[in-house]
């Protein structure tokens, strides 16, 4: 292998691919990056067998070749090398980078690239395109609600499916739910859809923020695989994902239809109140109390750590209510909603509540719904 490449191009490819490298693996090659140089440029690949990221960047290739190098060490060095041309070539049994017009060099042991896991072959049954910023937005408004419970792996991802001429991204951990959608022609996804791991969507979301064109999503359901491909300027970024196995819960059944009590409050004021009062909350339950009264909302918490209360103006004219909520869940949810006001649609202190943006989203073809299960207050009756 022998090529010339810009430090910025190599650093971008290595950094993106490194995000998919396993931190701990019994297979030494899974702690490596695969570098492949040919007439199309340099492709850098990292994988943990669940998520694979491959980035192709431009370079001048004199001699094609393939090598595997230690991912963490290579990434750290490449990030700190000065900007400018790099000469990359094999020096005996090591990969050498020359930089600064020959003033500096670094060498890296290599492993046999033939043993590196092969990129899964995609035989897509469905293809869907979304602009990068749209995909990133749908992920950010849903993925935070996914579960981290290893005993329910299907809840560790986001359900991506089609319904009523829209695409929906749904996540739940059994205590909260977030559903973000966009209207359009996405029927190919089907009502059952696919479950994409949350970790993979986080990487895809970051790429979506940078993409200079639509992101193409290809699904091979029979192989439990999906691929997300984006163009970022001259760079081609592809994330291949092993889909999670279902079935996903019928979340529509848990969305309440008769929550007639409406509480409207300024989102930024509520976020500030919860953030402050939560400092007094229990470290496990993270419980804060909502005291809902005519025209006002009190947010409070009291533990051995201390106590605090924050009162807000609000629109509410129903029965007085005291409700317990997990502060961390509230903060995650409030950060995901872009509107000035949010509306809580409530039934009683022990029933699931809905939260929606007031007057709709800035993107008129998009929708957002959040659901929260309350926590039983210590002084609650029953």
Residue 165: which pLDDT band, with cuts at 50, 70 and 90? confident
Rounded Cα distance, 117 and 188, in Å: 30
Residue 380: which pLDDT band, with cuts at 50, 70 and 90? low
Q: ∠32-34-36 over CA atoms, to 5°?
A: 165
> Is it the case that residue 164 has pLDDT exceeding 90?
no
- Residue whose C-alpha is closest to residue 276's, from 314, 316, 312: 312
Mean pLDDT of 8-26: 92
Model pLDDT, residue 150:
85
> Is it the case that residue 319 has pLDDT exceeding 70?
yes
Model pLDDT, residue 195:
94
Mean pLDDT of 191-199: 89
Model pLDDT, residue 382:
43
> Is it the case that residue 119 has pLDDT exceeding 90?
no
> Which pair of tokens denotes residue 277?
């009062």
Which residue stretches of the chain are H helix? Answer: 7-18, 71-80, 132-140, 198-210, 267-277, 327-336
Q: What is the mean pLDDT of the chain?
A: 93
> Is it the case that residue 258 has pLDDT exceeding 80?
yes
Residue 118: which pLDDT band, with cuts at 50, 70 and 90? confident
Half-sphere exposure of residue 87, counting CA atoms within 13 Å on the CB side?
Answer: 11
Residue 85: which pLDDT band, with cuts at 50, 70 and 90? very high
Mean pLDDT of 100-108: 91
Percent residues over pLDDT 90 in the chain: 81
Map out the domains of the chain with their CATH numbers.
Answer: 2-115 (3.10.150.10), 126-252 (3.10.150.10), 258-359 (3.10.150.10)
Top pLDDT among 274 and 100 is at 274
Model pLDDT, residue 21:
93
């Amino acid at each position: 292998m022998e090529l010339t490449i810009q430090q910025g191009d190599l650093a971008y490819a290595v950094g993106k691919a490194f995000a998919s490298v396993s931190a701990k693996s019994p297979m030494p090659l899974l702690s490596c990056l695969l570098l492949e140089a040919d007439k199309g440029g340099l492709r850098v690949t990292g994988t943990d067998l669940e998520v694979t990221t491959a980035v192709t960047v431009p370079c001048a290739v004199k001699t094609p070749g393939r090598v595997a190098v230690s991912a963490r060490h290579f990434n750290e060095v490449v990030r700190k090398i000065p900007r400018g041309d790099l000469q990359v070539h094999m020096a005996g049994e090591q990969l050498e980078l020359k930089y600064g017009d020959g003033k500096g060099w670094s060498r890296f042991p290599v492993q046999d690239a033939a043993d590196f896991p092969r990129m899964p072959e995609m035989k897509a049954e469905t293809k869907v395109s979304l602009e990068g910023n749209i995909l990133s937005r749908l992920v950010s408004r849903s993925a935070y609600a996914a579960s981290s419970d290893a005993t329910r792996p299907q809840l560790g991802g986001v359900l991506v499916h089609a319904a009523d001429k829209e695409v929906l991204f749904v996540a739940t951990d059994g205590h909260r739910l977030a559903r973000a959608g966009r209207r359009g022609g996405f029927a190919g996804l089907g009502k059952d859809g696919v479950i994409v791991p949350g970790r993979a969507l986080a990487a895809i979301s970051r790429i979506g923020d940078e993409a200079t064109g639509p992101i193409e999503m290809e699904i091979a359901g029979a192989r439990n695989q999906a691929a997300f491909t984006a163009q970022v300027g001259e760079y081609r970024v592809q994330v291949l994902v092993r889909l999670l196995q279902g079935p996903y819960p019928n979340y529509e059944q848990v969305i309440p239809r008769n929550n007639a009590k409406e509480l409207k409050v300024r989102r930024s004021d509520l976020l500030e109140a919860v953030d402050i009062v939560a400092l007094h909350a229990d470290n496990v339950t993270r419980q804060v109390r909502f005291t809902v009264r005519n025209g006002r909302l009190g947010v409070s918490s009291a533990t051995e750590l201390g106590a605090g209360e924050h009162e807000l103006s609000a629109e509410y004219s129903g029965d007085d209510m005291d409700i317990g909520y997990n502060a961390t869940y509230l903060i995650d949810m409030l950060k995901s909603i872009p509107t000035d006001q949010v509306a809580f649609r409530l039934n009683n202190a022990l029933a699931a509540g809905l939260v929606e943006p007031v007057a709709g989203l800035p993107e008129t073809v998009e929708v957002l719904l959040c659901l929260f299960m309350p926590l039983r207050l210590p002084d609650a009756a029953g």
